[in-house]
Structure 1
Amino acid sequence: MICTETSYETFTLEEVRTGIVLMTLNRPERYNAMTNTMFRELEQAALELNDDDDLRVVVLTGAGKAFCAGFDLADADGLPGLGALGMLDQQELAARALLALRSMRVPLIAAVNGAAAGGGLSLSLAADFRVASTQAKFNAAFVKIGLSAGDLGTSWLLTRLIGPAATSEICFTGRMVGAQEAAALRLVNSVSAPEDLLEDALRAAEAIVANSPGGVQLSKRALQANMEVSSYAAALELENRGQALLSRTSDMSEALAALKEKRSPIFTGA
């Protein structure tokens, strides 16, 4: 049983199926826009969830019509007066939240139910993959408010997902990208009817839960780490260590036994 008893002001946590936690941004009246409170709570929740050995997958979505509208403009008036170091502190507060989410050892699926704008796009990019409603839309409209698309990992992650030319055009124009275009660009893995989105995301989560916990977690570690290494040899070195560790687990022995006995494996994470 995953502990989700901590109460948060800006989102809810619920274990909706065994090993699967649904995190729902819960500021629908502000289109789930980000605040400093949300940044602090996201970081805290990610760190606490990461310590729970029963957790297998987190699904992130938004309440109401939007996924996340980016930084709450009601709080933005004071940003120009912060000074350079004050603004750096502000950026690092936000960045720590997204880094904590992305760094969780279990997969994070973003179920994008509506607009993911600015920092909301960045938040969706922090997930390991995204499923979208037909009502989802994305933009990196930082340039429209005098800021850079080099924000909260967008310039690094979006380029790797859809390529430098498509990223440049989207970021320089600040235009909106609809769900179907997002799928064609491979920004999202699939598009669902609004009423089916959450169920489709949970179905993907259940497919992950059916596999060995250690295998999934070290796969995530390898996939993320090898986006950052500079050589094939370095990637192989990291992969070799992960496979060596996993071959010592009882889950691998169980998987081989189940294959021989023509049954489904029972994974314990040991």
Structure 2
Amino acid sequence: MKSLDRQFETLTLEEVTPGVVVMTLNRPDRYNAMTNQMFDELERAALDLDQEDDLRVIVMTGAGAAFCGGYDLADADHLADLGAVEMLNQQERAARALQAIRAVRVPVIAAINGAAAGGGLALALQADIRLAAPEAKFNAAFVRIGLTAGDLGTSWLLTRLVGPAVASDIAFTGRMIHAEEAVRIGLANDLSAPGELMDDALALARRIVDNSPGGVQLSKRALHANMEVGSYAAAIELENRGQALLTRSSDMPEALAAFKEKRRPVFKGE
């Protein structure tokens, strides 16, 4: 993948198996806290990877003891001095980065290896699937520093994952949600055994890679789009179009032939 040749300062990209790229936030000395440079690099990396025809899954994690500690407060002193338009520009810079992660056409798995706080929680929420290490913990820390949990998509995504009452509890208290509770309330999909988080994430990625690339990508598109449409009829219409498109690809006939011949299908995504 050509995009893997690009060098970043706040994150690393590695293709660990064909089609599976691990994106690692790489500021371990600052708990992988976010800076404007990280926002820019997250957006650039997501946009570049999305152009790779061979990309099938992204696994996102953090270096060291944390997933992402949120916005780096060492860079926050100037925020109160910004004018309204300047602060809006700052917010939109951060939002573009997270939206780019969510908009990648292939599944994104967040391997939460430690704290995902504030903006780090927002980043984790952009993923399609979240796996948690025993050390994982989440909080919407915004109210603890005089800000709102309506930040970087948190109020929209968190509510849809855990429901409005639980989201309200998390948002209004700023309390910490540890790994077991995160799984119980639906914030995380599963809890890994100690030391097995990345193995579990990569095993899940391989199970996704085994399937039709077009089928997976249009499934993600349908799931995302149908979180926003206002009716069952609109959802059905979108699903019908996706299925009609995929029957014109080579992968569905290959899957049917493989089933009849009792062999594994060879998908090409064409």
TM-score range, shorter chain: over 0.9
Note if contact 2:105-2:220 (Cα within 8 Å) is conserved in structure 1.
yes
Deviations 1:105-163 (A, max 9, x none): 00000000000000000000000010000000000010010000000000000000000
Note if contact 1:2-1:54 (Cα within 8 Å) is conserved in structure 2.
no
1:101-120 → structure 2 map (5 Å cutoff): 101-120=101-120
Note if contact 1:136-1:178 (Cα within 8 Å) is conserved in structure 2.
yes
1:225 and 2:225 are equivalent in the alignment: yes
CA distance in 1, matches of 2:264, 2:198: 26
* Structure-2 residue corresponding to 1:155: 155
1:39 and 2:70 are equivalent in the alignment: no
* Structure-1 residue corresponding to 2:244: 244
Shift of 1:193: 2.5
Shift of 1:181: 0.2
Deviations 1:83-125 (A, max 9, x none): 1111100000000000001000000000000000000000000
CA distance in 1, matches of 2:135, 2:73: 23
Deviations 1:210-265 (A, max 9, x none): 00000000000000000000000000010010000000000111001001111100
Shift of 1:55: 0.3
**Secondary structure at the residue paired with 2:4?**
coil
1:84 and 2:84 are equivalent in the alignment: yes
Shift of 1:47: 0.4
CA distance in 2, matches of 1:3, 1:168: 40
CA distance in 2, matches of 1:126, 1:48: 17
**Secondary structure at the residue paired with 1:24?**
strand
Query: Can you give the 5+ residue segments of structure 2 that lack an aligned partner in the other structure?
Result: none
**Secondary structure at the residue paired with 2:5?**
coil
Shift of 1:2: 5.9
CA distance in 2, matches of 1:256, 1:3: 34
1:22 and 2:22 are equivalent in the alignment: yes
Shift of 1:63: 0.3
* Structure-2 residue corresponding to 1:93: 93
1:41-80 → structure 2 map (5 Å cutoff): 41-80=41-80
**Secondary structure at the residue paired with 1:138?**
strand
What TM-score do the two structures reach when normalised by structure 2? 0.99
**Secondary structure at the residue paired with 1:29?**
helix
Note if contact 1:2-1:15 (Cα within 8 Å) is conserved in structure 2.
no
CA distance in 1, matches of 2:195, 2:182: 19
* Structure-2 residue corresponding to 1:190: 190
CA distance in 2, matches of 1:176, 1:86: 31
Equivalences, count: 270
1:234 and 2:239 are equivalent in the alignment: no
**Secondary structure at the residue paired with 2:199?**
helix
**Secondary structure at the residue paired with 2:109?**
strand
For 1:71, give the aligned amino acid: Y
Note if contact 1:113-1:194 (Cα within 8 Å) is conserved in structure 2.
no
CA distance in 2, matches of 1:232, 1:43: 33
Shift of 1:194: 3.6
* Structure-1 residue corresponding to 2:129: 129
Note if contact 1:144-1:174 (Cα within 8 Å) is conserved in structure 2.
yes
Note if contact 2:27-2:33 (Cα within 8 Å) is conserved in structure 1.
yes
* Structure-2 residue corresponding to 1:145: 145
* Structure-2 residue corresponding to 1:171: 171
Query: Can you give the 5+ residue segments of structure 1 that lack an aligned partner in the other structure?
Result: none
* Structure-2 residue corresponding to 1:266: 266
For 2:262, give the aligned amino acid: K
**Secondary structure at the residue paired with 1:265?**
coil
**Secondary structure at the residue paired with 1:110?**
strand
